[in-house]
Structure 1
Amino acid sequence: MPLVTYFMNNDYLGILVNKTHSLPEDYVPADLIPVNIPFAHVGDDSRNYMRRPAARALETMFRDAEAAGLHPIGVSGFRSYERQKNIYTSNLAVKGEMHTSLYSARPGQSEHQTGLAMDISSPSVQSALTANVENTPEGRWLRQNAAAYGFTLRYPAGKEHITGYAYEPWHFRYVGKNLAAFLKKEGLTLEEYYQLLAL
């Protein structure tokens, strides 16, 4: 499959969505399902949904983390274009453009709209999405093990100039086991991976 098709195929697990590669306003994955893990949001909330392959992999990852005595908590999975628009607009009004551009995607530019991303926190930080997640037992375990389940830490420290976003130790993106293992081994972001493919 040509590289350009990978960029444009919204169903491709390795799709690149960022500040220069957007999803259509009406895009909603066809295979969204509720994820059976502990969530910060109780009830039937769309944030508790992911695409089927990502959901099943996340459930396995959470079970194994819990078997190791840890208690990861899902905070935010799928977000529609409209929900992201509301988040971005609210953050813009409250936190200003500079902060918002580092932490909040514009509508259509959020990985959450793919149904392949999940923000994960820990009880020791009250399920908050904060840099302190990296120092929790759950955060450390996820950094070490997430790739084995097909997830990559999408916005790593030191790569802000490449991803366009601040370090987010809570944001994990499902890309499948093979690509996740490659990204971890080579220390690459998705942006750098696609740059390699284009060479």
Structure 2
Amino acid sequence: MDDHGSILRSRAERQRQERRKKRLSFRLTLIFTVVTGMSLLLLSGVHLASDSPHTEGKKGRKNTAIALTKHKTIESDQNATKKESHTDEAEKIEVDTDPTSHTVLVNQTHPLPDGYVPPDLVIPDVPFPFRENLPKKQLRREAGEALEQLFAEAEKQGMRLYAQSGYRSYERQKELYAFKGNRAGGAANQVSARPGTSEHQTGLAMDITCSAVGFKLNRSFAQTREGRWVAEHAHQHGFIIRYPEGKEEITGYTYEPWHLRYVGKKMATELKRKNLTLEEYYEVDLQKK
């Protein structure tokens, strides 16, 4: 009976051990399965994240941003080029050929219309070295008023200027040109304008002088106190020295420190500041006539 009981107990013990092994094996298998599954899920999630539309959207937006930046850079360069071109075009000032304009260009290549006579000639209230009521006393109204102011300012500085020769008709210029042509020969064009090309016909030019040079029109006027003052301050009243020294080839005329031309304060100030003649301002080359 005891042997039989021992056998039964031994068998029962083996069965319990086998059941424990099976449970352990099942648990290990379950754990392995869970771990493996989680690993696969994690790997799958990373892969999906890298290929997801959201990620692709970021890449697409980045590429689009780069492309837009390049496009804007090219467009900016093109606009800059166009702007420079427009600026160059804007800087090319059209030559003023309106005979009634205060900024009109009149020279050997830009004559006045046939028969032109200024519309508003007056005699300015300034000193003249002669008493006769001659046409050459006249200037256009605005130019005459500016000359009065210039002379008045000179008076305040202790100087007395004189107006010698202003408006000159086509016929009168024709007479002077013929007279000077006989004396100067081939050089007549450098000392006198051909009829129709004289600034005096515009009514905007006045030759001035002073007692220190005997009221004459010559270069020594530039060395007088009056001449130096005029050269420095004429622009403040709208006048320029029309034929300056050193620019004879540009203007086509010899140096005339006495010849004032009214162009208005704005242009006169600009020409003075930049040291330009009207030909240079309008980019006119007499050598290409």
TM over 0.5: yes
Instruction: Specify the alignment match of 1:127 in structure 2.
Output: 215
Output the TM-score relative to the length of structure 1: 0.93
Instruction: Specify the alignment match of 1:42 in structure 2.
Output: 131
Contact conserved, 2:250 with 2:279, CA < 8 A, in 1? yes
CA distance in 2, matches of 1:185, 1:110: 25
Residue identity matched to 1:122:
C
CA distance in 2, matches of 1:128, 1:62: 17
CA distance in 2, matches of 1:8, 1:62: 29
Instruction: Specify the alignment match of 2:140 in structure 1.
Output: 51
Structure 1 or 2, whichever has the larger Rg, is: 2
Is 1:152 paired with 2:240?
yes
Residue of 234, 253, 263 corresponding to 1:175: 263
Output the TM-score relative to the length of structure 2: 0.65
Instruction: Specify the alignment match of 2:150 in structure 1.
Output: 61
Structure 2 gap segments, 5+ residues each: 1-91, 285-289
Query: 4+ residue runs of structure 1 moved beyond 3 angstroms?
Result: none
Residue of 179, 183, 191 corresponding to 1:90: 179
Instruction: Specify the alignment match of 1:115 in structure 2.
Output: 203
1:5-24 alignment, distance < 5 Å: 7-24=96-113
Instruction: Specify the alignment match of 2:230 in structure 1.
Output: 142
Instruction: Specify the alignment match of 1:78 in structure 2.
Output: 167
CA distance in 1, matches of 2:150, 2:97: 29
Residue identity matched to 2:131:
V
Shifted more, 45-54 versus 88-97: the winner is 88-97
- 1:9 Cα offset (Å): 1.0
Residue of 277, 282, 288 corresponding to 1:194: 282
RMSD: 1.4
Structure 1 gap segments, 5+ residues each: none
For the residue of structure 1 that corresponds to 2:96, the secondary structure is: helix
Contact conserved, 1:41 with 1:48, CA < 8 A, in 2? no
- 1:3 Cα offset (Å): 5.5
Contact conserved, 1:154 with 1:189, CA < 8 A, in 2? yes
CA distance in 2, matches of 1:83, 1:3: 32
Residue identity matched to 1:193:
Y
Larger RCO, structure (CA 8 Å, separation 6 or more)? 1
Contact conserved, 2:99 with 2:113, CA < 8 A, in 1? no
